[in-house]
Structure 1
Amino acid sequence: MRIARFQFNMLPVNTYVLWDTASRECAIVDAGCYYPKEEETLAEFIDDNKLTVKYSLATHLHFDHCFGNSFVAKKYGVILCAAEADEFLLQNMVRQCESFGIPFRGEIQPIGHYISDKDTFDLGHEKLKAIAVPGHSPGSMAFYAPDSGFVLSGDALFQMSIGRTDLPGGNHHQLVESIRTRLLTLPKGTIVYPGHGPETEIGIEQIENPFL
């Protein structure tokens, strides 16, 4: 499976496109595109690579990861897949933005399919496995591609850091426990693609992450 990363909006968020090279089926994870130019960048990449969007997946529903969800839904006719436990964040989306001094643009895309722990999403012959990692938000999910050896950790695990837990629904103890029991148990060579910042590896974070 191939993966491409885009850094979108003012925070900036890592938006990922994952695709199977044979079938050209793809998933968009955390569509954070805020500006029209960012929407164009995402659409051009999908067109240029002749990809078919099969899934719109959310690691969690904090506003900065959601700006592009309605664009993706309308452009590609796909529903948003996210955890039910984060649905309350959609109801407070405008307030989330206002608390950071950021105008919300576009429309709030509702969840069309609830993701549960251990759900799988097929892309060609490969699978993405959903791993519940609550703590940064109640419904935080990671997406693990065992055959390709990488995991999208959302805002749970970063390079030498972990997600913040001072936002509504955050729980520091729960987040650390989630990372230790759900992510750090993956093979050491697993590449971690986080919601912000550069990639890392599970083996490195096991040993060197000062928050764990």
Structure 2
Amino acid sequence: MTVSGFTFNAFSENTYLLHDGTGQCAVVDPGCYSRQEQNALQEFIKTHGLQVVLLLNTHCHIDHVLGNQFIIDTYQVPFLIHEADLGTLRAVPTYAAPYGFPQYTPAEPTGFLTPDAPVRFGDTELAVRFTPGHAPGHVIFYHEPTKVVIGGDVLFRQSIGRTDLPGGDHATLIRSIRTQLLTLPDDVTVYPGHGTATTIGAERISNPFLR
């Protein structure tokens, strides 16, 4: 599996395309809002001959969902979130305009993610791990063969996700990190929702929030 990343919108959010040798592709957390951002994502997909077959959200804060409806309209694909984040998703229209996104178009999921049901596309299988704390229905996606985690806003390089938003809880987030991330091998790469990639080993040793 190959991970291709893009940084979009005013929150510098990381959007990921996951694709493999079959050409099939899953879009994770599309933060593309402007036409320029949408075109950049679409052009990459077209240039690399990818077939988008799935839309996934790690969680549903505004910066991670701005491009959901664009992906659905363009590629007519299933859209999956964890059911516990449905309220988070449905709250976005109430604050999108004050946050500077008046043209935000809401999207409704077509199904729900659960930890006992891996996500599959092409030759790829992703384990779903439930990681609440930053958002009530946050999940991460783990691809064991390539030792890759798509981590949303749970664990960052030298930091962790904020817990002062509705549905956040610091103790819950730390528990999620310790049980669902720090149980993975040290050489697993974590692709976060903001900032640069890190590894489980590096954060285990030096992350100040995990001491």
Is TM > 0.5 for Structure 1 vs Structure 2?
A: yes
Between 170-179 and 85-94, the greater mean CA deviation after superposition:
85-94
TM-score (norm 1): 0.96
Taking the aligned partners of 1:111 and 1:87, their CA distance within structure 2 comes to 8
User: Which deviates more, 82-91 or 129-138?
Assistant: 82-91
Aligned residue for 1:153?
A: 151
The CA deviation at 1:97 is 2.7
Give the equivalent residue in structure 1 for 2:177. Answer: 179
The number of residue pairs the alignment matches comes to 210
CA distance in structure 1 between the aligned counterparts of 2:17 and 2:102, rounded to whole angstroms: 23
Which residue in the other structure is 2:167 paired with?
Answer: 169
Matches within 5 A, 1:77-116: 77-98=76-97, 101-116=99-114
Pairwise CA distance, 1:121: 1.6
User: Secondary structure of the equivalent of 1:111?
Assistant: coil
Structure 1 residue ranges (4+ consecutive) displaced by more than 6 angstroms after TM superposition: none
Which residue of the partner structure matches residue 10 of structure 1?
10
How far apart, in 1, do the equivalents of 2:102 and 2:61 lie? Answer: 12
Cα deviations by residue, 1:134-183 (Å, 9 ceiling, x for unpaired): 00000001000101111011000000100000000001000000001101
**Equivalent position SS for 1:105:** coil
Consecutive unaligned residues of structure 1, counting only runs of 5 or more, are none
Gaps of 5+ in 2: none
TM-score of the two chains, using structure 2 as the length reference: 0.96
**Equivalent residue number for residue 50 of structure 2:** 51
1:104, distance to aligned residue in structure 2 (A)? 3.4
Residue type matched to 1:133 in 2? T
Root-mean-square deviation over aligned CA pairs: 1.1
1:34: which partner in 2? 33
Q: Would the aligned equivalents of 1:135 and 1:171 in 2 still touch at CA under 8 Å? A: yes
In 2, the alpha carbon distance for the partners of 1:111 and 1:104 equals: 21
Tell me how far 1:98 sits from its aligned partner: 4.7
Question: Which SS does the other structure have where 2:110 is aligned?
Answer: strand
Q: Is the 8 A contact 1:17 1:27 kept in 2?
A: yes
Shift of 1:103: 2.6
CA shift digits 1:56-81 (9 cap, x unpaired)? 00000001100000000010001211
